[in-house]
Amino acid sequence: MKQVLASFQGELGAFSQVAVKQLLGDAGRAVACERFEQAFRALEEGRVQAAVIPVENTLHGSVHENYDHLLRFHLPITGETSVRILHNLIAPQGVSWAKIRRVYSHPVALNQCLDFFAAHPHLERIPFYDTAGSVKMIVEQKLTDAAAIASSVAAEIYGARILKRSIEDDRQNFTRFVLLQRPGTKPLLAQTGDRKTSLVFTTRNVPGALFRSLSAFALRDLSLAKIESRPLRGKPWEYLFYVDVLEDIAAPRMKKALGHLEELADFLKVLGCYPRGK
Amino acid sequence: MKQVLASFQGELGAFSQVAVKQLLGDAGRAVACERFEQAFRALEEGRVQAAVIPVENTLHGSVHENYDHLLRFHLPITGETSVRILHNLIAPQGVSWAKIRRVYSHPVALNQCLDFFAAHPHLERIPFYDTAGSVKMIVEQKLTDAAAIASSVAAEIYGARILKRSIEDDRQNFTRFVLLQRPGTKPLLAQTGDRKTSLVFTTRNVPGALFRSLSAFALRDLSLAKIESRPLRGKPWEYLFYVDVLEDIAAPRMKKALGHLEELADFLKVLGCYPRGK
């Protein structure tokens, strides 16, 4: 089987690595980058064949930085997947639950396990830069009173032990990732089933401009799965709008909608058309 | 003059303190809180008469956490103001520009001065939890090779010296703050001039739902200054929409628009009606 290198942000064992596996199967080899921008750049410069980037979490909201990168880099979206976020309490081998006094993890993960901390008030929460990175650290430093909150993959990779599974407050915790490739390369995923088109546009700063832009879709019965606004640099209090439309870009009504939107929008860019994730 | 206590997030000298002054003048006394939630809670519990909360920056985008708090707490918006974000390089007294090797600040502030760092590559950037807090720290620890990036107010408060003024990349850098009070209390600001109404609503998850909701405003020539979406907890891939409408809630067309929106929305809450900031 031919390997596919895919850049992602975080340490090995991050939820992004789970997304790499869901998207690319056993062929996918996750390449860790410290920052999101580096994951985009690795793909732009051809050091990897794909990038796997989180865009949205159902509790925490959009990963806004990545919307900015999607605009700036010219790396089309060719697929998507959602990962169920399961937080586990993980300790180095030989460290039992009774000994744990401190728990390390990314602040977002700590905040998603508030019921667990309320039930165990003797545990100190310590913010760390990364979920999987906190497992790596407690194992490397051989801490005897510390645990980390991370994915089960992180426990596996760093040879640590899961003390308690699924300690997150809310089971409806999913993160949506997009698969990016370089322009003109063959899609890595099978192009079958229903499709989605992602766009970004600006409107003229006139009353009703967003409403009129959305009419391009609504009047053609095209559904939006998501809309996100971001500030437009250099034009205070004006915005870019990102939308995901549940239709193939090649479908006649979608072509007409894009033509209509072009009449109304100052700027329009297609970010990708790809098979809808489950 | 009667003092008005206003909670804000950050250390004394934060840009929020500038907003307190812009909103409440010399009567305003800023009460520092470590986290945003604490600033909301201080007002809810009556320990202060107002809270001053950032909701949006023209480069960085919305402060999404505060949109979630605006929904959860019942503390109406009674005013707004925009603060020009001017980043200054600040050092302890007696430390000259030639000695500076390290620069501390909040990661967002460091990222807004990239041209400055590109011109001075020998300077190490060190992320710190707060802009004003980094001035406080370098002064308290009497660092001799370090500077911080923060507001001029921070330099004043901690008795530090501004080495270089206005080192930010982009002059179009503003943060919008809202003034919150407890329900039923007398507005602290004069209720004159044009007004703005802030709302949050959810739509039914059907095609065109957002378009139809916005029609309540567009069909009455009501302008939206801003729309923001946030995830709806417990309903993955559904959203809350926050909108700012440039009209008084008491105006006849606005009353009709709200009645119309109520027909279409599953949930609707008015966050406040207040004089528009400059």
What are phi and psi for residue B158, nearest 5 degrees? -95, 10
The pLDDT of residue B173 is above 70: yes
Domain end (from A121, A153, A180): A180
CB contact under 8 A, B210 and A207: no
- Looking at residue B28, its pLDDT comes to 96
Model-level pTM? 0.89
Question: Among partner residues B172, B208, B226, which is closest to A218 by beta-carbon distance?
Answer: B208
Distance CA A39, CA A36 (A): 5
Catalytically annotated residues of B: 175, 177
Query: Are B231 and A64 in contact (CB < 8 Å)?
Result: no
Q: What is the H or E stretch that residue B66 is in?
A: helix B64-72
State percent of chain A over pLDDT 70: 100
Same domain for B155 and B219? no
Note whether residue A245 is domain-resident.
Answer: yes
> A229 Cβ partners below 8 Å, 6+ apart?
A239, A240, A241, A242, B226, B227, B228, B229
Please indicate, yes or no, whether residues A94 and A130 belong to a single structural domain of this protein.
yes
Q: How many CB pairs under 8 A join A and B?
A: 89
Tens digits of residue pLDDT in A177-234: 999 999 999 999 998 899 999 999 999 878 889 999 999 999 999 999 999 999 998 8
Give B90's strand partners: B148, B162
Q: State whether residue A219 is helix, strand or coil.
A: coil
Residue type, A28: G
Same domain (yes/no): A203, A271: yes
CB-based contact A92:A162 (threshold 8 Å): no
Establish if B61 touches chain A: CB-CB under 8 angstroms.
Answer: yes
Q: Do A239 and B222 touch (CB under 8 A)?
A: no
Highest mean pLDDT among A37-51, B104-118, B193-207: A37-51
Please indicate, yes or no, if residue A187 is contained in any of the structural domains. Answer: no
* Max Cα-Cα span within chain B: 65
CA distance B248 to B186: 17
pLDDT band at A1 (very low <50, low <70, confident <90, very high): low
Residue B72 lies in a domain: yes
**Tokens 């192009």 map to which residue?**
A191
Helix (H, G, I), strand (E, B) or coil at B154: helix
Asked if residue B72 and residue B20 are part of one domain, the reply reads: yes
Q: Report the distance separating Cα A75 and Cα A51, nearest Å.
A: 9
B253 assigned to some structural domain = yes
Host domain of residue B39:
4-85+173-180
Q: How far is A67 from chain B (nearest CA, A)?
A: 11
Q: What is the CATH number of the domain that holds B235?
A: 3.30.70.260
Lowest mean pLDDT among A94-98, A143-147, B188-192: B188-192
Spatial contact of A62 and A200, defined as CB atoms under 8 Å apart: no
Helical pair A252-264 and A209-218, crossing angle rounded to 10 deg: 170
Contact assessment for residue B13 and residue B157, using Cβ atoms and an 8 Å cutoff = yes
pLDDT on residue A40: 98
Residue B191 falls inside a structural domain:
no
Rounded to whole angstroms, how far apart are CA atoms B125 and B121?
10
State whether A44 and A24 are in the same domain.
yes
Residue A256 domain-assigned (yes or no): yes
**Residue A43: is its pLDDT beyond 90?**
yes
The one-letter amino acid code at B28 reads G
- For residue B210, give the nearest of A212, A214, A234 by CB distance: A214
Tell me the residue length of chain A: 278
Residues B119 and B92 in one domain: yes
Token duo for residue B269:
């809450």
Instruction: For chain A, say whether B194 makes contact (Cβ under 8 Å).
Output: no
Per-residue confidence (pLDDT) for residue B191, from 0 to 100: 86
Q: Say yes or no: A56 and A113 in one domain.
A: no
Each residue of B213-270: pLDDT tens digit?
999 999 999 999 999 999 998 888 899 999 999 999 999 999 999 999 999 999 999 9
Query: How large is the ipTM?
Result: 0.86
Name the minimum distance, in Å, from the CA of A126 to any CA of chain B.
14
Cross-chain residue pair A228–B230, CB shorter than 8 Å: no
Does a structural domain hold residue B200? yes
Does residue B58 belong to the interface with chain A, where contact is any CB pair within 8 Å? yes
Same domain membership, residue B105 and residue B48: no
For A224, which of B56, B210, B231 is closest by C-beta distance?
A: B210
Subunit contact B172:A235, Cβ cutoff 8 A: yes
Quick one: which of B201, B210, B196, B189 has its CA closest to B241? B201
Closest CA to A106 of A1, A13, A245: A13
Neighbours of A241 (CB within 10 A): 20
Indicate whether A44 belongs to any domain. Answer: yes
Chain A contact set for B236 (CB, 8 A): 58, 172, 174
Residue A264 touches partner B, C-beta closer than 8 Å: no
- Number of domains comprising chain A: 3
A126 and A157 in a single domain? The answer is yes
Over residues B25-71, the pLDDT tens digits come to 999 999 999 889 999 999 999 999 999 999 999 988 899 999 999 99
Q: Nearest CA to CA, how far is A82 from chain B (Å)?
A: 11
A129 touches chain B (CB under 8 A): no
Q: Which residue of B has its CA nearest to A57?
A: B231
Helices (H), chain A: 15-24, 36-44, 64-72, 107-111, 114-119, 131-140, 152-157, 209-218, 252-264
B204 and B269 housed in the same domain: yes
- Chain B residue closest to A234 (CA)? B172
Q: Which residue of A has its CA nearest to B173?
A: A236
Contacts of B64 in chain A (CB under 8 A): 61-62, 64
For the record, the structure tokens of B116 come out as 């400055």
Domain CATH code at residue B39? 3.40.190.10
Mean per-residue pLDDT over chain B, rounded:
94
Q: What is the pLDDT of residue B1?
A: 67
